[in-house]
Amino acid sequence: MKRQQHGAAILTAMLVVVLVATLASAMLWQQWRSFEAESAQRTRSQAYWILTGALDWSRLILREDARQGGADHLSEPWAVPLAPARLSTFLAAEGGQAVVDDDEDAVRQTFLSGRIEDLQARLNLTNLIGATTLTDPALAAWTRLFKHLNLPERELQTMLQSLKLAQAYDSAAGKSEASLPLSPSRVEDLGWLGLSPLSLQVLRPFITLLPATTTVNLNTAAAEVLLASVPGMDMAQAQALVQLRATHPMAALADAERLLNNPSVRFDASLHGISSRYFGVTGQLKVGQTVVQEHSVLQRDSLDVKTITRAREVVTAPFAPLQ
């Protein structure tokens, strides 16, 4: 009888030990989980504040560029990308000594990179919305771009038709039509207007969606965009203009005609320009294993530079510096 009681006591003690160990493990796991969640939230908050500062710095650069006046081209300071750099390089004291605090290791493992792009170096989808026939310059430009990139023209026609239907939905008469598509708010939205994922991926570097119609900046546009936007221009001429403007940025449309020296190619002031109002800013911050990207669209009118849109995303893929 005593042996049975002794065995039961041992078993009870073991069960109590297991129960205590389980509860302790659960409490430690909950504490670790709370710490990780709080740490991740703090990292994101810090990243957002740093990227906001980077955006303000970009606005300052564009404002100073406007103060200088003249054309916008790729030899200006705003066009130079920021290579990945440790955050500690931006936090130096006046005497040249690096800032040291409790988060020094975290600062050393934080990298910031970014770039400013001229969005008027691309074909603007807003220009296309009012087009109806191939004689319209915007539709003709998009048709040439699709042809050069070997993309199906039927997708362009489907997208154009969907844009017309979206306009009808936006009008007062179309509010009751639930089957009509919504107007796109960004380039990625073109997927639901008829573009395949592959076509959208191929087009992405050459198109944009801005709140107003724009001209194509001949100083910054890629050869593919020049080919599409300038009637009569072939790829050889477009590439030649890109090479020539690298050393001789254009200050007027007449300079483009002089550089190209081809009487059969003419530029139109309503379609082409040498300066820009809209710019895209991309900032990327790596904090430990977390990579946060922010994409913003800026509108510049003289010295007034305002933010049109901002979008952030946490990148789960391995850190890849911006090109």
Mean pLDDT of the chain: 82
Give the whole-angstrom CA distance, residue 265 versus residue 286: 46
pLDDT tens string 120-170: 999 999 998 876 666 689 999 999 999 999 999 999 999 988 888 877 766
Q: How far apart are CA 106 and CA 104, in angstroms?
A: 5
Asked whether the predicted pLDDT for residue 93 surpasses 70, the reply is no
Report all structural domains of the chain as residue ranges with CATH numbers, in order of start.
38-125+207-323 (3.30.1300.30)
Query: What is the distance between the alpha carbons of residues 219 and 67, in angstroms, rounded to a whole number?
Result: 19
Tens of pLDDT, residues 7-60? 667 777 777 777 777 777 777 777 666 656 666 566 666 778 888 888 999 999
- State the Cα–Cα distance between residues 295 and 194, nearest whole angstrom: 25
Strands 216-217, 272-273: pairing kind: parallel
pTM above 0.75, yes or no: yes
What share of the chain has pLDDT > 90, as a percent? 48
Contact call for residues 307 and 55 (beta carbons, < 8 A): yes
pLDDT of residue 252: 93
Residues with Cβ < 8 Å from 234, sequence gap 6 or more?
A: 227
Tokens of 26: 């659960």
> What's the pLDDT band for 214 if we cut at 50, 70, 90?
very high
DSSP letter for each residue of 64-127: HHHHH-S---TTSGGGS-EEEEEGGGGSB-TTSPBP-STTHHHHHTEEEEEEEEEGGGSEEHHH
Exposure letters 104-142 (e unless 16+ CB within 10 A, then b)? eeebeebbbbbbbbbbbbbbbbbbbbebeeeeeebbbbb
Residue 99 pLDDT > 50, yes or no? no
Under DSSP, is residue 8 helix (H, G, I), strand (E, B) or coil? helix
**In the predicted structure, residue 279 carries a pLDDT above the cut 90:** yes
